Amino acid sequence: MSRPAGRKQENHKISRELFVLTYGALVAQLCKDYEKDEDVNSCLDRMGHSIGVRLIDDFLARSAVKKCRSYSETAEMIAQVAFKMYLGVTPSVTCSSPAGNEFSLILDKNPLVDFVEELPAERASLCYCNLLCGVIRGALEMVHLAAEVTFLQDRLKGDPVTEIGITFLRKAEDRKHKRN
């Protein structure tokens, strides 16, 4: 189909409330499909990873950010630009290792849990927002940074804040193939 001449392409955005409700329905369905919380957590992480792998292109195109020179710059970019752009929140960043490769993103408000009061007792080990960990890991992987991303604290589990831990493992090596 062609567009009428002179008409700009519109950026369609869904409302945050619709997204949050849809995400809640997704997690609820996964809880019905899988008996174990670990299986739900793993599925959310895989889904998030797939999203992150694809989302990084949009992020780089829309944000026009420059190449980060350190892990701390990368963590700040994730918090100040990516989270703000896609979730409308800006987590604070703390470095938690002398080596400078471990960071925490601390969210005072997590928009994915706007309509969730608490997790059911039988789902105590569910990591409701594990999709975020997968998204971060997948996006970092696409810019050649291997990382382990996990939830360290979660308000849904009674913690005072939501904290996502990022541990940069190593720079992924660009492999050059030799021709024989």
Report the alpha-carbon distance of residue 78 to residue 91 in Å, rounded.
9
> And the tokens for 55?
């989302």
Query: What's the pLDDT tens digit per position in 141-159?
Result: 999 999 999 999 999 998 9
Q: Which of 38-42, 98-102, 157-161, 170-174 has the highest mean pLDDT?
A: 38-42
Architecture label for domain 16-168: 2-Layer Sandwich (3.30)
pTM for this entry: 0.85
**120: buried, middle or exposed (CB in 10 Å: 19+, 13-18, 0-12)?**
exposed
Mean per-residue pLDDT of the chain: 87
Q: Comparing 176 with 127, which gets the higher pLDDT? A: 127
For residue 164, give the H/E element and its range. Answer: strand 162-171
Query: Residue 77 and residue 137: Cα distance in Å, rounded?
Result: 14
In the 8-state DSSP scheme, what is residue 178? P
Confidence of residue 4 (pLDDT cuts 50, 70, 90): low
